[in-house]
Structure 1
């Protein structure tokens, strides 16, 4: 079928969701548009625990991707509204280093209304981040999962972001293929995709979090991978026997090395981003401490001196948190993760 991949791209794009009525999400969108202006904001996407309902609580932030036309214009508007303590020029400059910036957006304050953990990114950078030439997995690993389109400025903006997400999803097999066994089902490929993506970052959660996210995204992720694998079979890259698939030509050693190198670089860049978040994200240290307590049951107190010199003084606590992560789950998630090395 010559038009199989094109049909798959269209179908992947149609899997972009519309969020059921959520007054807090709607409030965040209205506030962003009121503050920055309709012309400045191209699209707003929602992903993560608030969308998939993977153990959110009242303290869970909304994970947003905010595509803006101009960094400086957006940060100037945020500063005028009194919603950022950081200089707009600094925020705009940092946007070009390990993009995207991640900021806190709390129009009603941290205690009186919804809070969004917001990735701010310009259109050209989104195109690169979701393409094959992406410098890391930070955006791609999140947006190939369940995503809701909260706002698009117009039909062209909606079609644009939908096409980018669809293209990233259609490319999944290229980077997850080296981590798959000789034979695999859509469910197995979907779980491996999440495991590989999570391994590309240092995260304060246990390996159980991967399984939580997988189960909370059924049947979406298996259905998505079923489409990706079926398209690859139509293109002659895979053979199918029942519900299982095999590569016609398994990934070569060079391809496996290339993917492994990509994820190694991605992990380094993701770790460096944590240092950047301390600058770009108001109350970042409190946010992370609260997340560690929520996910791990581990209380982290941050002293005044640690707030003043986080890069110098916080390392012992960071290492303590990382060492305290449960490395083994009751369901054997750790074994699953360790078995995910490239061929």
Structure 2
């Protein structure tokens, strides 16, 4: 019996074919292979490719940099007041992290990292639910001076955050987000900040290793974009190819420094080899993550992402309006849902889903 290929993998293959046709000889910076040194690991959870201290320093430096505004302070104060000493850190990520990637209708995205779920609510059912298919997504709206400030935030414990970027990770939901540029706008102490730095470093390493399975001959830019594309291949999302370009251009220097360093490490381990002055080639037998393994990871990630939808409907109070706003923001499509349909949208909404899927708006 012929094995069924997951749609996410078909999308990956379609992108590969288009990439090789349109960019047979990509361009990038010249990278000289060097060997990795100064490995940093922990006893309980060693990453497959330990980070160098220089890479860790790059992440530690960038993670403290973010655009300051009154809204950031408003949200930070709210999270600190709500979770108090249980709040290990608050991660700021997404399009609002740069003027180049945010739009007029974008609002901020956060990850609230807590030490103990039991301290997040007096209702045992609520904090127990956080352990299932983490992280949980919430919508927050705050009023100040007659204006409404909105954001989305994920809630995750420190232990599950560490799992999400380790070999124990069950999907790419958080790993994909943490492999991009992020910022920490609050850390309880130096140990909490170091934990978040370590998590991003691990996420970037593992994403880099998986991205190689999508490539053959490539340059630095195409390698970075393959890494950024992972989280979109692992979920059903309302995004298009412009999102990858936007993210890349918004933080180009950071990506070139950090992922360029990871490329040189992998060259030192003979996972890739230089091909001319500006290109690299994957050594297939040395791939940390094989193509078949990546296919399985993407398939499982997409299943788990869809399994989160029922929880999101409960935790995000205006999930339908958020989804419609995302559709309009990304594709300029204003979809009106009549009042009679809203209570039964989980039954009738599939017609909209499949229509947008056929149009290539949902990936």
Unmatched 5+ stretches in structure 1:
77-87, 328-336, 338-343
Describe the superposition over 1:134-164 as per-residue Cα deviations: whole angstroms up to 9, x where unpaired.
1111101111111011100011100111111
2:324 paired with 1:289: yes
Q: CA deviation at 1:120?
A: 0.3
Correspondence list, 1:237-252, <5 A: 237-240=271-274, 241-250=276-285
User: Which of 177, 190, 214 is the aligned partner of 2:212?
Assistant: 177
Does residue 74 in structure 1 map to residue 74 in structure 2? no
Instruction: Tell me what 1:212 maps to.
Output: 246
Aligned residues: 314
Which segment is superposed worse, 11-20 or 189-198? 11-20
Q: Which residue of 2 aligns with 1:197?
A: 231
Q: Which runs of 5+ in 2 are unaligned?
A: 1-34, 39-50
Alpha-carbon spacing, 1:91–1:324, altered in 2? closer, same or farther (3 Å)? farther
**Which whole-Å CA distance do the structure 1 matches of 2:214 and 2:54 have between them?**
22
Q: Which residue of 1 aligns with 2:151?
A: 116
Matched residue SS, 1:131: coil
- 1:254 is displaced (CA, Å) by 8.2
Alignment of 1:13-52 (within 5 A): 13-14=59-60, 15-37=62-84, 39-52=85-98
Measure how far apart 1:257 and its partner are. Answer: 0.9
Aligned twin of 2:52: 6
| Contact residue 12 and residue 170 of structure 1 kept, 8 A | no
Contact kept in structure 2, 1:184 and 1:246, CA below 8 Å: yes
1:282 deviation in Å? 1.4
Contact 2:211 2:227 in 1 (8 A): yes
Cα distance between partner residues in 2 of 1:13 and 1:216 = 16
Per-residue deviation at 1:291?
A: 1.3
* d(CA) in 2 for partners of 1:70, 1:304: 40
Pairwise CA RMSD: 2.5
Contact 1:275–1:311, Cα closer than 8 Å, also in 2: no
Q: Which runs of 4+ in 1 moved over 6 A?
A: none
Pair 1:64-2:113 in alignment: no
Greater CA drift, 14-23 or 194-203: 14-23
> How much does 1:129 deviate?
0.6
Q: Is the 8 A contact 2:142 2:148 kept in 1?
A: yes
CA–CA distance in 2 between the matches of 1:191 and 1:254?
18
Greater mean alpha carbon deviation, residues 236-245 or residues 154-163: 236-245
The aligned residue for residue 258 of structure 2 is 224
> Cα offset for 1:272?
2.3
Distance 1:201 1:2, change over 3 A: closer
Which one is further off, 264-273 or 314-323? 314-323
Contact 1:204 1:322 (8 Å CA) reproduced: no
User: 2:69, 2:139 → 1: CA distance?
Assistant: 19
